[in-house]
Structure 1
Amino acid sequence: MSVDRRQFLTTSSLALAGAAFPGARLWGQPAQTPAPPVTAFTDIRRNVGIFTGQGGTIGWLAGPSGAVAVDAQFPATAKTCVEGLQQRSPKGIELVINTHYHGDHTGGNVAFRPAVKRIVQQERCAKLHRETTEKAGTAAQQAYADVMFGESWSQDVGDEKMWGYYYGPGHTGGDAVIEFERANVVHMGD
Structure 2
Amino acid sequence: MKLLAISFSLLFTTLSSAQRFDDVEIKTEQLSDHTYVLFGAGGNIGVSVGDDGVFIIDDQFAPLSEKILTAIKALSDKPLRYVVNTHYHGDHTGGNENMANAGATIVAHDNVKVRLKQPRRDGSENPIEAFPVITFNDKLNMTINGEDVAIFHVDNAHTDGDALLYFTQSNVLHTGDTYFNGRYPYIDLNSGGSVEGYIEAVKRGLMVIDDSTKIIPGHGTVSNKAEYERFLKLLETLRNRVNKAIAEGKSEGEIKADTSITKEWDALDYGSGFINSERIRLTFYKSLMGK
TM normalised by structure 1 equals: 0.75
Q: For 2:91 and 2:116, how far apart are their aligned partners in 1?
A: 12
2:161 to 161, 174, 186: 174
Over residues 89-121 of structure 1, what are the superposed CA-to-partner deviations in whole Å (9 max), with x where a residue is unaligned? Answer: 333111000000000011011221122331000
TM normalised by structure 2 equals: 0.50
Extract unaligned runs of 5+ from structure 1: 1-32
* Structure 1 or 2: more helix by fraction: 2
Deviation at 1:79, TM superposition (A): 2.1
Change (3 A) 1:85 1:38: closer
Bigger radius of gyration: 1
Q: Which residues of 2 match residues 105-184 of structure 1 at below 5 A?
A: 105-133=92-120, 136-140=123-127, 143-184=130-171
Instruction: Decide whether the 8 Å contact of 1:100 with 1:125 is kept in 2.
Output: yes
Which letter does structure 2 place at the counterpart of 1:48?
T
User: 2:23: which partner in 1?
Assistant: 36
Change (3 A) 1:48 1:163: same
- 1:113 counterpart SS class: helix
> How many residues matched?
158
2:52 to 46, 65, 73: 65
- 1:173 counterpart SS class: coil
Instruction: Decide whether the 8 Å contact of 1:64 with 1:90 is kept in 2.
Output: no
| Structure 1 residue runs of 4 or more that deviate by more than 6 Å after TM superposition | none
Q: Using the TM superposition, name which of 103-112 and 71-80 deviates more.
A: 71-80
Change (3 A) 1:91 1:103: same
- 1:172 counterpart SS class: coil
Q: For 1:158 and 1:94, how far apart are their aligned partners in 2?
A: 11
Extract unaligned runs of 5+ from structure 2: 1-18, 178-291
The root-mean-square deviation of aligned C-alpha atoms, in Å, is 2.1
